[in-house]
Amino acid sequence: MAENDPFPGEDNTGHIWDGNLRELRNPPPRWWMLGLWASILFVVGYGILYPFWPTADGYTKGLLGWTQIEEYRRGVAQVEAVRAPFEERIRGLTAADILADPELTQYTVASSKVLFGDNCSACHGSGGQGNPGYPILADDYWQYGGTPAKLVESIGQGRQGSMPAHGEILSATEIDRLARFVTELKSGEPGAEDGWSLYRAKGCVACHGQEGDGVVVRLPNGDVITVGAPSFRNGIWRFAPGGYESARYTITHGVNQPGRPGSREAVMPDFGASGRLGEQEVKKLAVYVHQLGGGL
Amino acid sequence: MSEQAGRREPDGVEALYAEAGQWHVNAGGETIHAKRMPGRWRRIKWLTASVWLIFFLGPYLRWDGRQAVLFDIPHRQYHLFGATVLPQDFWMLSLLLLFFAILLAVATALAGRVYCGFFCFQTVWTDVFTWIEERLEGAPAERRRLDRAPLGPRKVGLRAVKHLAWLAIGFLTGFSFVAWFVDAPTLWWTFFTGDASTAAYVAVALFTVGTYLLAGFLREQVCFWLCPYARIQGVMLDRTTLVPAYDERRGEPRGRLRKEAGGAVQGDCIDCHQCVAVCPTGVDIRAGQQEGCITCALCIDACDAVMDKVGRPRGLVRYASLDELEGRSTTPMRRRPRVWVYTTILATALAGILYGLASLDAIELKVLHERAPLFVRLADGSIQNKYTLKVLNKTGEDMQVRIRVDGPPGLMLVGADAPLLARHGEVTPATLFLRLSPAALADESLPVRFVAAGERASGETLRTERESVFIGP
C-alpha cells in the first residue's frame, strides 16, 4: 500500500480509505515505551521472586520464599527483642518490687495494656471503670484487698463470693428493715440501734464485720482479714444499681447460690491456675490494675 | 478514482490534515539546542539560579559547634541554627508548606511561572548542563552537526568529558543533599572510606543518576510531560497576570525585513525566529501563552537585541498581561485586592512559624485526662481523677522534673512525691491522680493547671505548664 501512497512525506501508516482518509503515525515517545518495557520486565522478575501464579492447589512460592506470616513474625520478634531486657528484669521481682521502680512500672503499664484489654476489660471496662455487677478497679475499695500481693492472688486464683439467700430464712419485714439499714449506712449515717441489733442477731456481722465495713478481723499490725463481703460504709455498691431495692434483692436471693434462680452472680475466674495466663503475666496485670487509681 | 476525486473537499479534510502537520507536539524526538544570548534576563536568570548555591554550601555552616542546619532523622531531631525542632513541633511544617504553596500560587497569579523559569531545579540544572555542553561542543549549529557526525575520536572525547562533567554535577547534587542529614565534614571522610550508611550511598546514587538523566536528557520533557505544576498553572493565570508575551498588534503582519520601502504594510516582527532559537523548551512565544512556556524571558532578550539592530523600539516581546496587550485598562498591583489577600495569608503563615520557633520550650508537658472512667468515688467519699502526664525533654541532658498542680482549694495531688526522671530527647510518661472532697467540688468541671519544672546542670530552671480539667459527678 505504502508504495503508491498518494500523500508522500506525511508519515502516514499506509492505511487510506476513500482515497483521502488516512491514519497518521503518532507513536508514543521512546522513553515512554522504554518505561512500558521496563515495567513488564519488572513483573517477570517479581513473578519469579515472589508468590505470584495461582496453581490448582495453591500458588507458586517464589524464589525468595517471602510470606506475609513470616514478615509478621519478624515484626513480633522485633518487639520481643526490645522487651526482652525488661521482661528479664521483672522476672525475679514481685509486683510490689516493680511498683517501687518508676521505670519498670512505666514499662509494665505500657506493655500490659493489651493484656488488660484481652483479659479484663470485657467485664471491668477499658479503664477499670467497672460495669453493672463487675467491680470498679479504678477506685481504692477492694473487697479482697488492694495490695499488690492480694491483686496477684485475685487475678491468679480467682474469687468467688458467697451469700446465702435469706428469702425463706427472714420475714419480709426483717428483710425490709435490713435493706433500709445498709442503705442508711452507705449514705454515711451512723445507723439506727434497732438496725444494728437486727444486723447482729441475723448473722450479717459474721461476714460484713462488726462495723459493717467488711472487716472480719483487724490484726494488731493494721492488716485486716476479710472474706470478700463488701463494706456498707463507703458509698460503693457491689451490685448495680445500688440502693434499697437492690439491697433487698440481694438479701432475698443471695450471691452465687447454686440451684437458686435469681441469685446474684459474683465470680472472678482464675486466670493463673487455669493456665490462661503465666505467672509473669499475672504479675504484670496486678501492677497494671494497681496503678488504675486505687492500689493500696 | 475519478469519482472519489470528485468527492474530495479541498478546504475541509485537507485543511485539517494541513493543521495536523503544524501541530508540533514536542515529545522529545529531537534534542533542543537553544541558542545562548546575553541580555538583561539572562543575567537575572544566573542571579536567581545562584540561590541554589545555598543547597551546595549550606551544610557547611556551623553553629554552636555543630552543623547549623541538620535534619537528624535517626535521632528525630531537626536543628535549625539555635533551635531544635522535634517531631512534636511539626505543626509548624504544615504552616511552612502552606507558606510555600501560597507563595507559588501568588507568584504564578501575579507574574506567571516565575518559579519554573528562574528557580526550578529542573530549569537551573538543565541550564548549567547546556552551558557545559556549549563550552565543550560549541554553538547550537555545531552541536547539531556533532550529533549527526559519525563516532570518531573527537566526538568520543568531547562526549566523554561532557558526560563525566554531568555525572560529577549529579554526584555533587546527591552528596550535598545527603549532607543536610548527616554531619557534612564527617560525610566527606566516611563516604569515601565506605563507612557512610547504606541510605547515604543509595541517596547519592539515585540523585546522581536522576540528575544526569533529568537535566542531561529529559530536560524540557519533564516540564511538558512529568511536572504536575506545569499543568496546573493554566488555572492560576488570568488576564491580569504578567507573562512574557508577544505584542501581536504591533508585530503582525510579520514578514522578512526588506531593504527598500514600499510594498505591503508590515508589522514590527521580522520573522527572524530568534525567539524560538533561544527558547529552552522550543516553543514559539508568538503563538501566545502555552503549556511549554516556562516564562524564563530569554525570548525577551533575543527580541530586544533584534529590535535594537533593526532600529525599532524594544518590547515587541515583553512582560505584559493579556489585558495590556488587548488595550484594556490595567490596575497597578498594589491596588488589586487579590495581592492583599495573598499577602495576608503569607504573613499569617510566616508569623505562625516565627511564633512557633520563638516559643519552643526546652521541656514540654502534655496532660491526658483519663476518660474511662472520668472520675471515681473513693472509699472515703472523695472524688479522684486520673491523668497521664507526658514530659518531653528536648535538652541534651537527663533531668529531674517536679510536677505540681494549681487548682481549687483542697485539691490533692497523688503520685508526684518523687521527681520524675525525664530522659533527654524522650517522652517520659507518668500517671498521677487528683483528689477533691465532694464538698469542694463547685462545678462538674473545674480548671486545673499542671506545672512541670526541672533544673539543668547549668542551674537554669525550665518550666512548662498545661491546662486540664477536674471532673466530678
Chain A partners of B28 at a C-beta cutoff of 8 Å?
29-31
Residue B132 Cα, gap to closest chain A Cα (Å): 24
- Phi then psi for B378, rounded to 5 degrees? -85, 170
pLDDT at site B4: 46
Q: What is the pLDDT of residue B22?
A: 62
Closest CA to B102 of B340, B295, B342: B342
Q: Are B399 and B454 in contact (CB under 8 A)?
A: yes
pLDDT number for residue B262: 60
- The answer to whether B370 and B386 are in contact (CB under 8 A) is yes
Residue of B225, B376, B401 best to disrupt the A interface, most CBs of A under 10 A: B376
Q: Is A234 on the interface with B (CB under 8 A)?
A: yes
CA-based nearest distance B377→chain A, Å:
6
Residue B24's pLDDT is 65
In this predicted structure, what is the pLDDT of residue B1?
39
Helices (H), B194-263: 198-213, 220-221, 228-236, 248-251
Number of H-type helices and E-type strands within chain A = 11, 8
Q: What is the pLDDT of residue A240?
A: 83
**For the structural domain made of B363-471, what CATH number should be given?**
2.60.40.10
Partner-chain contact B29 A29, CB within 8 Å: yes
Output b/e per residue, A58-96; b: 16+ Cβ within 10 A: eeeebeeeeeeeeeeeeeeeeeeeeeeebeeebeebebb
A31 and B379: CB-CB below 8 Å?
Answer: no
Per-residue confidence band for B6, with pLDDT thresholds at 50, 70 and 90? very low
| Predicted pLDDT at A204 | 92
Task: Note the pLDDT of residue B260.
Answer: 62
Q: Does A28 touch chain B (CB under 8 A)?
A: yes
* Number of residues in chain B: 473
* pLDDT confidence of residue A2: 46
Asked if the model's pLDDT at residue B3 lies above 50, the reply is no
Q: Is the pLDDT of residue B355 over 60?
A: yes
Say whether B378 and A19 touch across the interface (CB within 8 A). no
The pLDDT assigned to B146 comes to 92
Task: Read off the pLDDT band of A279 (50, 70, 90).
Answer: very high
Name the more confident of A166 and B231.
Answer: A166
Q: Which among B372, B376, B429 is the nearest to A126, CB-wise? A: B372
Domain boundaries, chain B: 32-235, 242-279+294-326, 363-471
Do B8 and A127 count as a contact with CB atoms less than 8 A apart? Answer: no
pLDDT band (50, 70, 90) for residue B337? confident
pLDDT band with cut points at 50, 70 and 90 for residue B252: confident
Q: What is the pLDDT of residue B2?
A: 42
Average pLDDT, chain B: 87
Nearest to B8 among A20, A125, A140 (CB): A20
pLDDT score, position A247: 93
Q: Which of A132-141, B264-273, B315-324, B364-373 has the lowest mean pLDDT?
A: B264-273
Confidence grade of residue B140 (pLDDT, cut at 50, 70, 90): very high
User: A21 to each of A14, A15, B2, B14, B15, how far by Cα in Å?
Assistant: 10, 8, 16, 9, 12
When the pLDDT of each residue in chain A is averaged and rounded to a whole number, the result is 90
- Cβ within 8 Å of B, A 258-287: none
> pLDDT tens across B391-404, in order?
988 777 888 999 99
For the segment A121-143, the average pLDDT, to the nearest whole number, is: 91
pLDDT in tens, B414-461: 988 888 888 887 888 888 999 999 888 888 999 999 999 988 888 888
pLDDT bracket for residue B331 (50, 70, 90): confident
Give strand pairing partners of B72.
Answer: B77
pLDDT, tens digit, 9 for 90 and up, residues A72-130: 999 999 999 999 999 999 999 999 999 998 889 989 999 999 999 999 999 999 999 99
Domains of chain A, start order: 68-159 (1.10.760.10), 162-265 (1.10.760.10)
Phi then psi dihedrals of residue B221, to 5 deg: -65, -30
First to last CA, chain A: 98
pLDDT of amino acid B49? 95
pLDDT score recorded for residue B131:
96
- In this complex, do B421 and A291 lie within 8 Å of one another by their Cβ atoms? no
Report the alpha-carbon distance of residue A124 to residue A285 in Å, rounded.
Answer: 13
Using a CB-CB distance cutoff of 8 angstroms, which residues of chain B are in contact with residue A125?
372-373
How far is the first Cα of chain B from the last one, in angstroms, to the nearest whole number? 99
Closest Cα in chain B, distance from residue A236 (Å): 7
Confirm if B13 and A10 have CB atoms less than 8 A apart. no
Give every CB contact of residue A21 below 8 A, 6+ residues apart in sequence: B13
- Report the complex ipTM: 0.77
Q: CA-CA distance, A216 to B307, in Å (whole number)?
A: 111
| Residue indicated by cell numbers 563525566 | B164
| Alpha-carbon distance B372 to nearest alpha carbon in chain A (angstroms) | 5
